[in-house]
Amino acid sequence: MIKDSNLSTKSVFFDDEELQWESSLTKEFSISLKGLFHIYKEEKSHYKLLEISLSQPYLIKQSRKKGLKVLDITNAIIEKVKNNIVGEGLLVKKNNLKFYMYGHIEKWLESMQEMCIQINFHDEFFLYRLISKSQQSKVYFAEDRSTKIDYAIKVFEKNQFEQKIGAKALQQEIEILRLIKNEHFIKLLKTYEGDQAVYLVFEQQKGGDLQRFLKENENILTEKTAFQAIKQLLQGISLLHNLNYMHRDLKPENILLKNKDKLEDLIISDLGLAEKVNNEKKQLFTLCGTPGYVAPEVLKKQPYNQKVDIYGIGIILYTLLTGKNPFYSIIKDEILELNMIGNVNTDKLNCSDLGKDLLRQLLQVSPNRRPTAQQALRHKYFRNQSPLQTLQKQNIILSKPKFDSNQSEQISPLTPNLNFDQFKTPLVQPQYLRQATPKLNIQQKHNANLMKKFRNGL
């Protein structure tokens, strides 16, 4: 368990840029808070009474001599302070700048914590259970020491950061989480920083994740339920795409459930690999994602865009309908090879023709033939449905597939000089394949044939 202290070193959110209050004549402000505060001038060791306003992400001060001045407090460190003369106050720190404001600060602290960083995490929360971990972070359950309410905490240990890249990726994840305020996405409540780690505080989702549901819940899943779940994912990812971002790591582990017994109120989480979509002059080639859910163009190191998320949703839909990943193999490297080929056979799925048509569109190997999230939501399958309509009852038993742990191993864009060649299986004789998989079922034989064709083309 992490034992951290309050921040005594330089914040990972700070840089060496000189920061000053700026005059503002053109900005339009939406004031949420306003009040009179005693402002402490550290360089002159005296206090001055000023009117301060808050318009996220700006603090605004008004003086007779200097007029209107603003300060961008995004990722500034905020902490409570106390003075024997003027009482309780708030210290705002960013880069080289310190700003002390004394007065009634409770509402201000509550409003500013959305955009700022606090430093007293272990004074306020108690970490009690490790839930999951990845290359970049760990997720714990924690209890608020005062309210006794449980939360989910995503912890980034600073010694795991890869120089400046790790801190930059963390700042981008926080930026996206603040930008997206929708029921389809996990909500960032607070951010803390200590000497050893950065802590993101989220609501705790009692239903676990979709991967756990598929492994442990021996329910009967109807086609209607599977497509209702996918519709939620498409609605959520459409909002992300409209903001010009892509998720790049959609998989069952990153889909949370509010209710562990139902695929309702799905929440998209873990935006650690999310990236802003570049213009055509600067296309993305970065290899990242999770084997088994990555769009083929990513593994082929071709330029890609938001359509990679559509392919990932298609894989999740296939998994909901069958209880298994289409690229599952007992040989780890084969998962990557099959995933890079990208062909998924949907002919024998126990699903309506319209459902199969939508699934095939989501899983098109060529991204140009894949629909956008909005186009998928306008597919005839969803247009033909109404809340009161009952589909033909085609119960699909969710067997407990042997999900191999390698399917959850994330390929991180932070890993330098990552080359897909290291994941390729060397050319082998058919005899070896038979020995490695002595009991091939129909799907495995189909996969083996695909790999032979793929290897022959290398």
* CA-closest candidate to residue 412, choices 186, 187, 138, 162: 162
The structure's pTM equals 0.82
Domain identity same for 160 and 289: no
- Here the CATH number for the domain that contains residue 280 is 1.10.510.10
- Here the CATH number for the domain that contains residue 157 is 3.30.200.20
Assess if residue 376 is contained within a domain: yes
> Three-state DSSP class for 411?
strand
Assess if residue 138 is contained within a domain: yes
Q: Which of 59, 84, 112 is the endpoint of a domain?
A: 112
How deeply is 368 buried, as exposed, middle or buried, from its count of CB atoms within 10 A (0-12, 13-18, 19+)?
exposed
pLDDT for position 391: 38
Domain identity same for 100 and 134: no
Domain identity same for 198 and 52: no
Give the pLDDT of the chain (458 residues) as one tens digit per residue: 667 778 888 899 998 888 989 887 667 788 999 999 999 987 767 888 999 999 999 999 987 777 789 999 999 999 999 988 889 999 999 999 999 999 999 999 999 999 999 999 999 999 999 988 887 889 999 999 999 999 999 999 988 887 666 788 899 999 999 999 889 999 999 999 999 999 999 999 888 898 888 777 664 567 888 999 999 999 999 999 999 999 999 999 999 998 877 788 899 999 989 998 875 556 677 888 899 999 999 999 999 999 999 999 999 999 999 888 999 888 888 999 999 999 999 888 889 999 999 999 999 999 999 999 999 999 999 987 754 443 343 443 443 444 444 445 666 554 444 444 444 433 333 333 333 333 445 555 666 666 666 556 55
Catalytic residue selected from 4, 209, 249, 309: 249
pLDDT for position 83: 87
* CA-closest candidate to residue 346, choices 324, 305, 318, 308: 318
Q: Which of 177, 203, 229 is the endpoint of a domain?
A: 203
DSSP character at residue 449: H
CA-to-CA separations, 259 to 88, 127, 222, 256, 267, in angstroms, rounded: 42, 23, 17, 9, 11
Assess if residue 7 is contained within a domain: no
pLDDT for position 237: 97
Residue 158: give the domain boundaries: 121-203
Assess if residue 436 is contained within a domain: no
Active site residue 16: no
- Here the CATH number for the domain that contains residue 46 is 2.30.29.30
First CA to last CA across the chain, in angstroms?
47
Domain identity same for 217 and 350: yes
Distance (Å, rounded) from C-alpha 51 to C-alpha 107? 16
Distance (Å, rounded) from C-alpha 78 to C-alpha 16? 19
How deeply is 311 buried, as exposed, middle or buried, from its count of CB atoms within 10 A (0-12, 13-18, 19+)?
buried
Distance (Å, rounded) from C-alpha 440 to C-alpha 114? 53
Domain identity same for 172 and 65: no
Mention every residue, 6+ apart, whose C-beta is less than 8 A from residue 210. 252, 253, 255, 256, 257, 263, 266, 316
pLDDT for position 60: 93
CA angle, 390 then 392 then 397, to 5°:
110
Assess if residue 441 is contained within a domain: no
Assess if residue 158 is contained within a domain: yes
Place of tokens 């873990």: 270
pLDDT for position 220: 54
Domain identity same for 379 and 232: yes
Assess if residue 216 is contained within a domain: yes
Domain identity same for 217 and 307: yes
What's the distance, CA 404 to chain centroid?
Answer: 22
Domain identity same for 356 and 236: yes
Assess if residue 152 is contained within a domain: yes
Q: Which of 203, 235, 270 is the endpoint of a domain?
A: 203
Domain identity same for 97 and 227: no
Domain identity same for 326 and 234: yes
pLDDT for position 419: 47
Domain identity same for 95 and 164: no
Domain identity same for 262 and 404: yes
pLDDT for position 164: 62
The total domain count for the chain is 3
Asked whether 139 and 152 are in contact (CB, 8 A), the reply is yes
